[in-house]
């Protein structure tokens, strides 16, 4: 079971780019990396998923180095509404990787 480590909290300001890095040193060959966002009293929302190199969608980018032992979620030009908890999960097959850690509490200030 690949364990993930993220910063507990981060602060930034509106309009800035925010990068949140997740360490997963024992990631397995077939594992995918998935990031979720959660607001208070809501369920987590899928942001982005990747296996290697770089993935980009309309809300974020995910950078994965060649060794895949870490990944970085990049949020361009954040706003106050991006204040949330962000979770990194590494998932293989079955129930493996369905365990959410404490996530990173991102606080965006004006």
Partner 1 sequence: ETGVTQTPRHLVMGMTNKKSLKCEQHLGHNAMYWYKQSAKKPLELMFVYNFKEQTENNSVPSRFSPECPNSSHLFLHLHTLQPEDSALYLCASSRTGQMKESPQHFGDGTRLSIL
Residue numbers of the site for partner 1 (CB under 8 A)? 30-32, 34, 36, 41-46, 49, 51, 91-95, 97-103
CA triple 59-66-47, angle to 5 deg = 20
| Shortest Cβ 16–partner 1 spacing (Å) | 27
Q: How many residues does the chain have?
A: 110
**Residue (43 or 110) nearer to partner 1, CB:** 43
Measure CA 32 to chain center: 12
| Shortest Cβ 47–partner 1 spacing (Å) | 9
**Residue (13 or 51) nearer to partner 1, CB:** 51
d(CA 5, CA 88): 8
Closest to 73 in 3D by CA, of 109, 13, 24, 14: 24
| Shortest Cβ 51–partner 1 spacing (Å) | 8
Q: What are the structure tokens assigned to 53, written together?
A: 């190199």
**Residue (16 or 23) nearer to partner 1, CB:** 23
| Shortest Cβ 107–partner 1 spacing (Å) | 15
């Amino acid at each position: 079971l690949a364990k993930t480590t993220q910063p507990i909290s981060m602060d930034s300001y509106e309009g800035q780019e925010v990068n949140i890095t997740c360490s997963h040193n024992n990631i397995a060959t077939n594992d995918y990396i998935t990031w979720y966002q959660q607001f208070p009293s809501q369920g987590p929302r899928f942001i982005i998923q990747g296996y290697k190199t770089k993935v980009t969608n309309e809300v974020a980018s995910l950078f994965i180095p060649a060794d895949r032992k870490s990944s970085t979620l990049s949020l361009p030009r954040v706003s106050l509404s991006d204040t949330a908890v962000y979770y990194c999960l590494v998932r293989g097959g079955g129930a493996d990787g369905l365990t959410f850690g404490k996530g990173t509490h991102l606080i965006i200030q004006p």
